[in-house]
Every structure is written in structure tokens, then in C-alpha cells.
Amino acid sequence: NNIPVIAVDGPSGVGKGTLCQALANHLNWHLLDSGAIYRVLALSALQQNIALDDTKQLATLALGLPLTFDSNSDDVKVLLDGMDVSRDIRTEETGGAASKVASINEVRVALLQRQRDFRQLPGLVADGRDMGTVVFTDAPVKIFLDASAQSRAERRMKQLQDKQIHAKFGEILQEITARDERDRNRAVAPLKPAVDALIIDTTSLSIQDVFNQSIMYIKEKL
Ligand code: C5P
């Protein structure tokens, strides 16, 4: 596949979403928010009272998930069965549930093609945990963002406040740490940098710094 992909992976709250959106805007490329897919799946499971460890039902749900991204407006809207769930999927509760369903191999396999379908001209910026290691192993550019749990919790807190979603710092930090642990230690597609990824520690970097470093690297690679 000759269509270029920039694979961006890293733990939650590290600034992947912000970076990927900025890169996609700058390059005028497509954007895949793979985390949103796992979040919508989790939300749908919660709504239908499907247990978060019910492999068979979750895999079936994943295969037929009526999910669409609507990028007509300024920020991308996420629709489940035509309903706007953009807000509902951003709570830490849904994030935690997403990381539970995401630990199931059958679920990940069921969602593979759906993610790969986003690879369209002129190119794709892909945001997730396994973009460089599993979904787009042949991506010409792979970036892995990292940062301390404390600073990621601070950023997530601010993000939620901006969206006027109520949150407590201690709980956010705890949830982020628990979710990371699960994402890093799971048997399938664990969160880790691809061997050929550029690793950027964003703990003491501004969004602009991270963007500039990434653009420099992308120019070098493409
Ligand atoms: O990135 P975001 O926080 O929206 O992702 C929610 C959860 O979905 C993550 O904690 C992770 O468990 C899962 N996920 C994943 N693989 C991806 C993207 C997200 O396992 N590519």
C-alpha cells in the first residue's frame, strides 16, 4: 500500500489527539481516532447490558457496530446509530470500559479492517495504541508520545474542564494509571513503541514544540 500513514501511539492523555488533529489539518490528510472506536463499542455494550468480558457478544457487536464519524463540522462528531455520542464517549468511565473491551483479541481483530479502511489518499494520520505495531505496521512514519502520569492527568483534567465535564483530579490520576497498566500489560497489542518509532517525551514540551518536532521528523521521512 503506497498511501502514506503517520502512526501516532502513546498512553492516554499524552496529547496524541491534539497532535494528530493538528497534523491532519496541516497536511490536509484524513484522521483516524481509533480510541473513539473502542469507546463507542464500550458505550454500546454498556447501553445493551453486555458484560465487558463477554468475548462472543462483544466481537459480534464490534463487527456490526453502527458507527460513523461526521467531519463536516469544526470538530469531528462521533455517531452511534445516528446519535451524537461525542460527549458521552469522553468520560473516564467510558475510557476505562473501552480499555477493558480493547483487551480482548477477538474484538481487536473484528475492528482491524474498519481501521485500515481509513487509509485513503492523500494520506492518513492514525491515533491510537497499536497503530505502528499492529494496524499500520508498514507506516512510513511512526511516532510514540510519552509523558509522566501526573502531567497526563493534569492535561486530561483541563481537557474535561474545557468540555465542562466534571472531574476530580485524584480520580483522573487513578483511572489514567489503571488504564495505562491494562493497556501496557495486556497480551494482545500491548501499548509499546514500534521498534522504528520516534519517541518523544512530552512531559515538559508545549503542544507547539511537539508539533514542530513531529513535522521535522515527517519531512525527513516522507
Ligand atoms: O485513546 P483513547 O483514550 O480514546 O482510547 C480509549 C481506550 O481504547 C484505551 O485506553 C485503550 O485501551 C483502547 N485503545 C486501544 N487501541 C487503540 C486505541 C485505543 O486498545 N488503537
For residue 117, how far is the Cα from the chain centroid? 16
Give yes or no for residue 183 CB within 6 A of ligand 1. Answer: yes
pTM of this structure? 0.95
pLDDT score at 125: 98
What is the rounded CA–CA span in Å between residue 177 and residue 208?
26
List phi, psi (to 5°) of 32: -115, 115
Interval between CA 213 and ligand 1 midpoint (Å): 24
Place of cell 464490534: 62
Residue pLDDT, tens place only, 87-135: 999 888 899 899 999 999 999 999 999 999 999 999 999 999 999 999 9
Task: List C-alpha distances in Å: 190 to 13, 102, 187.
Answer: 17, 10, 6
Is the omega angle on the peptide bond into residue 140 within 30 degrees of 0, that is, cis?
no
Ligand 1 atom closest to the Cα of residue 13 is 3
For the cut 80, the answer to whether the pLDDT of residue 72 exceeds it is: no
172, amino acid identity: I
pLDDT score at 115: 98
Question: What ipTM does the predicted assembly reach?
Answer: 0.99
Residue nearest to atom 2 of ligand 1 (CA): 35
Interval between CA 102 and ligand 1 midpoint (Å): 7
Return the beta strands (E) in the chain as ranges.
Answer: 5-9, 30-33, 67-70, 77-80, 83-84, 124-128, 141-146, 198-201
Interval between CA 34 and ligand 1 midpoint (Å): 7
Residue pLDDT, tens place only, 11-68: 988 999 999 999 999 999 999 999 999 999 999 999 999 999 999 999 999 999 999 9
Q: Looking at domain 5-221, what is its CATH homologous superfamily?
A: P-loop containing nucleotide triphosphate hydrolases (3.40.50.300)
DSSP 83: E
Task: List C-alpha distances in Å: 2 to 6, 9, 42, 132, 151.
Answer: 13, 21, 33, 16, 37
DSSP 53: T
What is the rounded CA–CA span in Å between residue 25 and residue 8?
15
Residue pLDDT, tens place only, 129-164: 999 999 999 999 999 999 999 999 999 898 888 888
